[in-house]
């Protein structure tokens, strides 16, 4: 499966975690580049970004296995998975 490319202000970002980190910082601080802001608790921000990237990947895996479709929330896709027998 081919992964989508992520871009921040036209610059490619290799990891979805980095993309989420920059998007969160920009959302909180305004439209200035995320790189100019000092993050107080980088570990907490990293954990949040890693969870977002994991959730995105989980949704992709479930969709590749035939559950759900693009545009559904992750909990909606997970609800389509049959219960364990």
Predicted local confidence at residue 44, as pLDDT: 87
Predicted local confidence at residue 6, as pLDDT: 45
Do residues 22 and 16 make contact, with C-beta atoms less than 8 angstroms apart?
no
* Domain residue extents for the chain: 6-79
Is the full-model pTM beyond 0.85? no
Do residues 19 and 6 make contact, with C-beta atoms less than 8 angstroms apart?
yes
Task: Please list the rounded mean pLDDT of every run of 10 residues in the chain (85 residues).
Answer: 45 68 81 74 87 86 87 87 89
For residue 26, give every residue at least 6 positions away whose Cβ sits within 8 Å of its Cβ, in sequence order, or none.
32, 33, 34
Predicted local confidence at residue 32, as pLDDT: 72
Do residues 60 and 70 make contact, with C-beta atoms less than 8 angstroms apart?
no
């Amino acid at each position: 499966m081919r992964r989508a490319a992520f871009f921040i202000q036209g610059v490619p970002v290799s990891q979805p975690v980095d993309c989420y980190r920059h998007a969160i910082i920009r959302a909180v601080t305004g439209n200035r580049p995320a790189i100019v802001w000092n993050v107080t608790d980088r570990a907490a921000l990293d954990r949040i970004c890693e969870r977002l990237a994991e959730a995105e990947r989980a949704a992709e895996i479930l969709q590749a296995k035939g559950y759900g479709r693009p545009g559904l929330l992750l909990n909606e896709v997970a609800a389509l998975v049959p219960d364990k027998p």
